[in-house]
Structure 1
Amino acid sequence: MRVLTSLAFLAALIVPASTQATEEQVVLGLSRDRVAITANFDGSDILIFGAIKRETPIPDGDPLQVIVSVSGPSAPVLVRRKEKKLGIWVNADSVLVDSAPSFYAVATSSPFHEAISDTEDLRHKISIKRAIRSVGADMNIQNAQEFAEAVVRIRANERLYSIRENTVAVDEQTLFRTEIDMPANLTEGNYSARIFLTRGGKVVSTYQTTIDVQKVGLERFLFNLSRQQPIVYGLMSLAIAIAAGWGASAAFRALRGT
């Protein structure tokens, strides 16, 4: 079962008091702010769409570009490098990547390098490499940057990291929409959705909101039980395993008897 979550633009306009009349603003809101992970959950398509509010006509010059990013909860990641010694693969160096989002997807209305400059990317930390923070590593470790790159490579293979260029549709430089595909192996927590408007590679407006991703039903009960009362959870699991084994044995004996 795939879940459809949409971000719909609001009827009310959100304009900060300090906003100048010539500034373009994102008009966006949440029609649904929760993704429920159930037993048959196999992913979620997040539909994001909105509008651009202006006090003046569309500016001449560079066309409007839209960048949308969705990121999951961040946490440190310990990355180990394996080496082959005496014919056996063993752990060698290790680096603790200070912070890496559990999920990260970026959608753009044009090629990424055309939608935003490197300076603005550094400032807002939009690209995947900028979203991962690795302060430093032991001086004895060579090519420490490869450990952060390994995190990106592994999670990209698991469909947790992606950059989706030319997937944001922009109509008349006023309406925009895109769809972010989220896999089944999501981490629980608050997911941040950010929208950036850019012209000539420079960010002219931003908007941010949150999507709550949580287990529900039996999955939620078992998850909480395993964390809050691990002994009870272990005993219950053992009892279920014994009952299942006894039931299978009884059924097998009955079949042999017939």
Structure 2
Amino acid sequence: MLWRLFAIFWLCCSPALAEEEQVVLGLSQDRVAITANFDGSEILIFGAVKRESPIPSGPPLEVIVAVAGPSSPVTVRRKEKKLGIWVNTDSVLVDLAPSFYAVATSAPLTKILSDTEDLRYRVSIERAIRSVGAAMHIRGAQDFADAVVRIREDEGLYSIREDTVAVDEQTLFRTSIEMPADLTEGEYVARIFLTRSGSVISQFETTIDVRKVGLERFLFNMSRQQPVWYGLMSLVIAIAAGWGASTAFRLLREN
């Protein structure tokens, strides 16, 4: 009987405790359209902190914004030079890696988020990638996951942007996330974390829809759903373009 009373008390009190500070979020756009001349986009993320009581004293409120693209498995291969030729040797399947991942923070990440909370919420780039493990005979298995991070950082797909979230009076916050031109279609998940002393006190999640539109969408769907017709159409267009170019050059020479 006592434990039931305790459970009822906890259920009644925990929502009030959890709602002491909540995120109220806004986006400049919740949909990104990929067209022929698409060269990237910038998403403005802004919001406020809703409170039922005055701002707590002590450590200041910090904000972390993480935007992740669709995740998929990635096969990473190691190349080694044998007899003067670079060949593939070991390979590891990284279980899940986001196609795009950006983290913006109001202060250095390691100072506002503890390792325990990072492990729990998978905020840092290394924790956002899931690699269960490789075969026992493969040496340096972690190097394969690190290679995914390094390659995608060089391509501008992964980034940590510290001190780029502006927080005013521990109530209003804003930042912008730059998204490159070579985006993968799908739902991008934006997560916002409020932290104090390295602990997450509130979080909020929303999605951003990234899709091809117009002719690009039509061609993409055809290439996936009707590959034979897509190949024939591509062949006809290539022949027509070649014939048109040769005709134009011939006319120029005759004139």
From 148, 151, 155, give the equivalent of 2:152. Answer: 155
Q: Aligned letter for 2:156?
A: R
Take 2:123 and 2:29, find their aligned partners in 1: how far apart are those partners? 24
Take 2:243 and 2:207, find their aligned partners in 1: how far apart are those partners? 47
Take 2:177 and 2:242, find their aligned partners in 1: how far apart are those partners? 43
Take 2:188 and 2:242, find their aligned partners in 1: how far apart are those partners? 41
State the match for 1:50 in structure 2. Answer: 47
Q: Give, in angstroms, the shift of residue 18 of structure 1.
A: 2.1
Take 1:19 and 1:68, find their aligned partners in 2: how far apart are those partners? 24
State the match for 1:227 in structure 2. Answer: 224
1:164 aligns to 2:152 (yes or no):
no
State the match for 1:139 in structure 2. Answer: 136
Q: Which structure has greater helix proportion?
A: 2
* Cα-Cα RMSD: 1.2
What TM-score results when the alignment is normalised by the length of structure 2?
0.93
Q: Give, in angstroms, the shift of residue 32 of structure 1.
A: 3.0
Q: Give, in angstroms, the shift of residue 252 of structure 1.
A: 1.3
From 183, 187, 207, give the equivalent of 1:186. Answer: 183
Take 2:250 and 2:43, find their aligned partners in 1: how far apart are those partners? 51
State the match for 1:68 in structure 2. Answer: 65
From 214, 239, 242, give the equivalent of 1:242. Answer: 239
SS in 2 for 1:206: strand
State the match for 1:7 in structure 2. Answer: none
Superimposed CA distance per residue, residues 196-251 of structure 1 (whole angstroms, 9 cap, x where no aligned partner):
00000000000000000000011000000100101100010000111111111111
Q: Give, in angstroms, the shift of residue 21 of structure 1.
A: 7.8
Take 2:117 and 2:168, find their aligned partners in 1: how far apart are those partners? 24
SS in 2 for 1:63: coil
Number of equivalenced pairs: 242
State the match for 1:40 in structure 2. Answer: 37
Take 2:249 and 2:25, find their aligned partners in 1: how far apart are those partners? 60
Distance 1:53-1:35 versus aligned 2 partners, 3 A rule: same
Q: Aligned letter for 1:48?
A: I
State the match for 1:26 in structure 2. Answer: 23
Take 1:256 and 1:178, find their aligned partners in 2: how far apart are those partners? 58
Take 1:246 and 1:100, find their aligned partners in 2: how far apart are those partners? 44
Gaps of 5+ in 2: 1-13
State the match for 2:11 in structure 1. Answer: none
From 117, 120, 123, give the equivalent of 1:120. Answer: 117
Distance 1:21-1:35 versus aligned 2 partners, 3 A rule: closer
State the match for 2:213 in structure 1. Answer: 216
Higher Cα radius of gyration: 2
Q: Aligned letter for 1:227?
A: R
State the match for 1:255 in structure 2. Answer: 252
State the match for 1:176 in structure 2. Answer: 173
Q: Is the 8 A contact 1:102 1:187 kept in 2?
A: yes
What TM-score results when the alignment is normalised by the length of structure 1?
0.92
Take 1:110 and 1:37, find their aligned partners in 2: how far apart are those partners? 32
Q: Is the 8 A contact 1:121 1:130 kept in 2?
A: yes
State the match for 1:108 in structure 2. Answer: 105
Superimposed CA distance per residue, residues 74-127 of structure 1 (whole angstroms, 9 cap, x where no aligned partner):
000000000000011000100000000000000000000111101000000000
1:130 aligns to 2:127 (yes or no):
yes
Q: Is the 8 A contact 1:64 1:173 kept in 2?
A: yes
